[in-house]
Amino acid sequence: MKITSLLSDKPWSAVAIAVCFAILLILPWLHLLPAESAFHLSAYWITLIGKIMCMALVALALDLVWGYAGILSLGHGLYFALGGYAFGMYLMRESAGDGLPDFMRFLSWTELPWYWIGTQHIWWALALVILVPGIIAFIFGFFAFRSKIKGVYFSIITQAMTFAAALLFFRNETGFGGNNGFTGFKTILGMDITSASMRATLCFVTALTLLLCFIGLRHLMNKPYGRVLGAIRDSENRLQYLGYRTLWYKLSAWVLSAVIAGIAGALYVPQAGIINPSEMNPVNSIEMAVWVAAGGRGTLIGPILGAGLINGVKTYFTVAYPEAWLLILGALFIVVTIFLPKGVIGLFDRFKKEKN
């Protein structure tokens, strides 16, 4: 197998994708150049690029279940937030030292809740980033898929679950900081979280994770497993008649997607500097679906492109026209649905066909 085939089936597309990822891997280190250098990237830009790559990672995760298995989730913001909270617990313990986190002292707590035990160790925090979203996704997915809930009903349930989780995390007694969530992070492994080297490292790790997840999912989707997911999307009943137990295919894809979303949340938190229940806002999960649709679902590279483009546009319009941003987002989704059913990637393919 050629290395380029891990990036795209088309040689020229593979080269273009490889160049884009190479740029993403190089950009973080430009932050370490002297401020007077023409190639220096400021803290604002390096943080923005890192956060957008985290969002691209979520879009990649959602494309796995929606683009390939035909399962539209409007609740992936939950798994993103759970991964963020899991790593945020470690960051809060680092900031607190041997004492309790600031918000617990403010609420007159005298000891840590049992589920905070061990979170002072980064290895346990990283395990929670994978285990918590994965276990919750497995439990929810098992009962939902076994009950044969599909289509819009499944989407509504995922959104309702996310909204319920947001209401739970808003409560101070749950031990997750209530409305304010976690903030005031100071160090990771004893190193200043706001230092130039740490900012560059976090951005680089995010780019590397995005690349590895993209290559891994590309490889997986080119295997029989990926073809079965496509068959489930196109006609699950026919596949069941052939003897396939579609429950486990759907469930495995759902859990894997949730874990990737959780990893994205864990990478997002130290770069954004905060995690609170607003990340579970149903609007956020809807935006994730828009990223995938705009880029081109079922392509893997499309959702990454869609997340980058839309969040880049959002960064501008939320400053220039903050009141109109949601209207712009809604209009964009309508335009994509009507005129670009295959997203931006589909537009490129159409242009190539017309050129030939």
Query: pLDDT tens for residues 130-160?
Result: 999 999 999 999 999 999 998 899 999 999 9
- E strands, 29-94, in order: none
Cα separation values, 184 from 120, 124, 192, 271, 337, Å: 16, 21, 12, 12, 41
pLDDT (mean) for 171-182: 89
CA distance 91 to 270: 8
Cα 21 to the chain's mean position, in Å?
A: 17
CA-nearest of 73, 97, 196 to 145 is 73
pLDDT score at 1: 46
At residue 117, φ and ψ (nearest 5 deg) are -65, 130
- The rounded mean pLDDT for the chain is 90
Whether the per-residue pLDDT at 341 is higher than 80: the answer is no
* Pairing verdict, β 274-275 and 182-183: antiparallel
pLDDT of residue 348: 67
Whether residue 353 has pLDDT greater than 70: no
What does the pLDDT look like over 298-337, one tens digit per residue? 899 999 999 999 998 888 888 877 787 778 877 877 887 7
Instruction: Give the Cα separation of 77 and 258 in Å (integer).
Output: 10
Indicate the pTM of the whole model. Answer: 0.93
pLDDT one-digit tens code per residue, 25-57:
999 999 999 989 889 999 999 999 999 999 999
AA identity, residue 201: T
Separation between Cα atoms, residue 82 and residue 251, nearest integer Å: 19
CB 232 within 8 A of CB 98: no
- Burial label for 77, CB within 10 Å (0-12, 13-18, 19+), is buried
| pLDDT more than 90, % of the chain | 63
